[in-house]
Structure 1
Amino acid sequence: MFKVIRRAWRYLVFALSGRLDELSDPRVQIEQAIAEAKEQHQRLSQQAASVIGNEREMEMKLARSMEETGKLQANARQALLLAEQARSAGDERKALSYEDSARAFASRLVAAEAAQQESQLTYERARQFSAQARAAVENNAMALQKKIAERMRLLSQLDQAKVQEELNKAMGDLSGLTPAGETPTLDQVRDKIEKRYARALGEAELTSGSVEARMIEVERAAIDVEGAARLEAIRESLNTDRKPEIGK
């Protein structure tokens, strides 16, 4: 049951994500991608700054450790010189005191040199991490620049696509390929006129072939024949009236 619910949930999430992608504005999605890339670069830069700061801190600690080692070595050397001078002057007690001081400085010097070696190793590791962080920031900066350039290309391509879509729509309207909307196309008007004209021709053909139409034609023909006969009678009467005049 749990597997079925999880599968249904994944399907729902996928369906909603796909629908959201269809409804989303590509321009907004491009800006979101660039903003996310900039935020990622900023986070990486902050982390790199922390790593580089740690390198600087280790460098300062190493410098202090080296300075302390140098001082202890100089103090031990100076104590030995003073012991030799005291012994040369016949003051053995003072010479022994200086030698004790030299041994104390030497002991502290050993500890300081061990600490210096540890600081040196820590600094080397910090420097390696710092170099990696710098390289990561530089690589990510180059990737960000490429994304920004890609953004300009995509926005230009998006504008071109919109212009092409408008042109295709206009050409479709002219060719009558677009679906009927509030304004009919020329093809639709032409089809409507041709349909009415064909229907009128059909009605005229049916009317001319009906019985009433043929009866009217017969009556008209009979009237024409009668009219022709009457006209001929009038012409004969005119000829008859003219003959006596010719005899005189």
Structure 2
Amino acid sequence: MFKVIRRAWRYLVFALSGRLDELSDPRVQIEQAIQEAKEQHRRLSQQAAAVIGNERELELKLARSLEETEKLQANARQAILLAERARAAGDEDKARSYEDSARAFASRLVAAETALQDSRLMHERARQASDQARAAVETNAMALQKKIAERVRLLSQLDQAKVQEELNRAMGDLSGLTPTGDTPTLDEVREKIEKRYARALGEAELTSNSVEARMIEVERAAIDAEGAARLEAIRESLGLGGEPGAGNPGGRPEVER
């Protein structure tokens, strides 16, 4: 049961992550990646600064140790010279006192030289670590610059993709391939009009060939004939004779014989 729950949870997380990637704005994701790279470079720079600071601190300690060693060595040498001068002057007690001071300086000199050797070793290790830290910061800085340049390229490509998508959408609307919402395309409107026009032509053809249409045509012909006869009677009553050109095709006057 626990395995099933764990698998279901992993599937849900994976599905939600994929859906989130689909809905996320690429521009926001690019900026998030750049900010993460900058934050990583900042942390690396702080770590490198701490390493380099440790090297500088060890340099100061090494300089003080070296200075202390040289001072102890000079004091031991001076004590020995004073002891020799006192002995030469016949002051043995003073000579032994200077010799005791010289031995004390010599003991401190041995301890200082040991500390100086340790400081040199620690400083060398710190110098190597600081060199590695500087190289890491420089390498990461170059990588950050590449990411920033890549951001410019990706943003430009994203803008081009949006323009191309708008162009494709506009061309799809013009061609009727992708209607927007409930608006019909020109092809659909044209097909509807052609169907109505063809139906109207079919109905007209059926109407013209029906019995009722023939009867109306006969009645119209009879009315036209009656109207022509009535017009002829009116002409005769006016003494105008028949219809002009009725017995003379072409309307040319007859020649007297």
Question: TM-score under structure 2 normalisation?
Answer: 0.82
How big is the shift at 1:184?
A: 2.9
The root-mean-square deviation of aligned C-alpha atoms, in Å, is: 2.6
Deviation string 1:150-186 (CA, Å, 9 cap, x unpaired) is: 1111111111111111111111111111135243332
**Which is further off, 136-145 or 216-225?**
216-225
Alpha-carbon distance change, 180 to 193 in structure 1, aligned in 2, over 3 angstroms: farther
Give SS of 1:183's match: coil
Aligned length: 233
Deviation string 1:79-107 (CA, Å, 9 cap, x unpaired) is: 11111111111222211211111111111
Q: Which position in structure 2 is the counterpart of 1:70?
A: 70
Q: Which position in structure 2 is the counterpart of 1:192?
A: 192
Q: Which position in structure 2 is the counterpart of 1:128?
A: 128
How big is the shift at 1:195?
A: 1.8
Give SS of 1:22's match: helix
Q: In the alignment, does 2:211 pair up with 1:214?
A: yes
Q: Percent same amino acid among aligned pairs?
A: 79
Q: Which position in structure 2 is the counterpart of 1:4?
A: 4
Deviation string 1:63-90 (CA, Å, 9 cap, x unpaired) is: 1111111111111111111111111112
How big is the shift at 1:219?
A: 7.0
How big is the shift at 1:125?
A: 0.8
How big is the shift at 1:226?
A: 11
Question: TM-score under structure 1 normalisation?
Answer: 0.85
Alpha-carbon distance change, 221 to 97 in structure 1, aligned in 2, over 3 angstroms: same
* Matched residue type, 1:73: Q
Q: In the alignment, does 2:158 pair up with 1:158?
A: yes
Q: Which position in structure 1 is the counterpart of 2:183?
A: 183
Give SS of 1:132's match: helix
Structure 1 gaps, min length 5: 240-248
Q: Which position in structure 1 is the counterpart of 2:90?
A: 90
Higher share in helix: 1
Contact 2:69 2:112 in 1 (8 A): yes
Alpha-carbon distance change, 53 to 195 in structure 1, aligned in 2, over 3 angstroms: same
How big is the shift at 1:214?
A: 2.9
How big is the shift at 1:204?
A: 3.2
Structure 2 gaps, min length 5: 233-240, 243-257
- Please give the alpha-carbon distance, in whole angstroms, between the structure 2 residues aligned to 1:132 and 1:54: 13
Alpha-carbon distance change, 171 to 76 in structure 1, aligned in 2, over 3 angstroms: same
Q: In the alignment, does 2:102 pair up with 1:102?
A: yes
Contact 2:73 2:109 in 1 (8 A): yes
* Matched residue type, 1:214: V
- Please give the alpha-carbon distance, in whole angstroms, between the structure 1 residues aligned to 2:186 and 2:180: 11
Contact 2:207 2:213 in 1 (8 A): no
- Please give the alpha-carbon distance, in whole angstroms, between the structure 1 residues aligned to 2:180 and 2:162: 22
Give SS of 1:179's match: coil
How big is the shift at 1:32?
A: 0.9
Q: In the alignment, does 2:33 pair up with 1:36?
A: no
How big is the shift at 1:142?
A: 0.8
Alpha-carbon distance change, 65 to 214 in structure 1, aligned in 2, over 3 angstroms: same
